[in-house]
Structure 1
Amino acid sequence: MKHHITVGVDGSPESRAAARWAAREAVLRQVSLRLVHAVDWPLDPVFPGLGRQDVDRWADHALTGTVRELHERHPHLEISTRCLTARPAAALAAEAADAGLLVLGSRGLGGLVGFLVGSVAMSTVVATDTPVVLVRVADDPEDAEDSDGPSAGSRAEVVVGVDIHEACDRVLAFAFEEAARRDRPLRAVHGWKMPAAYSYVPFFDPDDERDIARSVTRMVEDVLLPWRHKFPEVSVSHDVRMGSAGEHLVRASRGAGLLVVGRHVRRSPFGAHLGSAAHAVLHHAAAPVAVIAHG
């Protein structure tokens, strides 16, 4: 059992928002929080004249300032810190190995546009099998509760992308556990497309589309059924539509407290290691996004 949450901290508004989100999640889970700052030394030449003492002073300021802020909001939360000299993505992935969850900040593009996922965040997501949550500043409103009670985001529904063609037990387990922990409803979203052969049919029968839609909906219901039995306290709905799964998930993220998607674990060193739906969600979702490695 992994008993703590790790969050990357670098002093930026994005990382502070991630730290606040992670602290609220740690309170919900009743676990400790670990703040990690990593710096790649020597620094890039674009920082001329910046010495190691300056870097250490900045790291200490980022960590102690964040700890102070979080303790003001959650005085009973156990918080530890680590400052590492290493490439940030590699350091964060290594720190995530013994954590139950890794939380990272990501630049928001405002409104309903979503994320600007930096290279560190993207590299970290694909380098660890630990669940990773990306948080924007927009996901941490200034009027969020400062007490140990649940935040506004924790009171909104949880949305999960369901794949009927692949085993996604880890994805569904995470989503159901989060919905149960927050006492919030869960909405399962699946996007489907007509078989490629239909593009060659000169006269398309609308009844075929309805039949396929009913069949896909039954398959989604079958995937969800054992999880409904395991989590009877969670109110579950499903949204099955023809079209891009990524687009449907992005749309469903508006107003959601958390969006959960899966990504395939690929051992090849090449490629982004993300499916099209996860890629779309990471760049355009309007809610915190949890990426769960599976397969």
Structure 2
Amino acid sequence: MRTTLLPALAASIALLLASCGGGSVDSQLDPTRIIVFGDGFADIGQAGGRYTINDGTVNNWTLTLAGEYGNALATSASGGLSYATGNARVNTLPDAAGSSGHPTVKQQVDTFLASGAPTDTDLVVLAAGTGDVIAEAQAYFSGSETQAQMLANLAQAGVDLGTQVRRLLAAGAEHIVVVGPYDLGKSAWAVQLDQASLLESASTQFNSQFLVSVADLGENVLYVDAAYYFNLVVASPTTYSLDNATGVVCTSVDSGAGIGTGISQVNSSLCTSDTLASGIDPSVYLFADRIYFTPVAQRLFGEYAYGRIRDRW
């Protein structure tokens, strides 16, 4: 019964976190800083390329969001306030690609709080869970853990993300946006492996448990539902001026672990305008690699997130 009821409860909490509070045109948030923590979905080039097509455009949704507010956003490695790092997990090492050298989301928050504190005029963004879903799914596929263990670990990761939200609130943040993993059951990875059901369950488990863990924080926390948004895109790509929601546009194969989905797979952080499949128009594709999105899809989600934030604050 608990497994059956949890997604419905989480959906109700998501609606609450997306709508409670509210603002008006006269009282909109105008953040002085945008601070970002997370994994590859939010990484704007912490260790090199971004997880999309590196074509010189605004190609990550957090950059779109910052631009809507007229703010600059740079990696923490270059002195900025975007700590998001590809393949990061919430509170577990190694990361999704097997590296222990990249900080978890908790460690990213540790680093930020060690140098200062958020204020009531900051917009704090946490975009995490994709790395955890990839790592746990791979552990299941390899036989090193059962499906029940995978789901239990993802439930804990969701709770751990809620813990980081509470830390930031306690430190002074008043406007926190959280984006969990989109439904990886809709990813090109799921299509190629024929594992849509399992990856959907994995993604839902993380998101559901996160939402339950922050159910009392609606005044200061906004959940922007990437799963809801990208499910709409996949269901009707032409509505979003896309033609292909299953194929991969990049050809940048990584001989190493790459994005965590296997050796010698396409890694969009290595993808440029010169490593695209021949004869393909990238502007009508959803996926750059088996997990991450093209620049046009990133920008669309950034605009969606900005609209949700403006509606809320």
TM-score of the superposed pair, with normalisation by structure 1: 0.29
TM-score of the superposed pair, with normalisation by structure 2: 0.28
Question: Radius of gyration: which is bigger?
Answer: 1
Greater fraction helix? 2
Greater fraction strand? 1
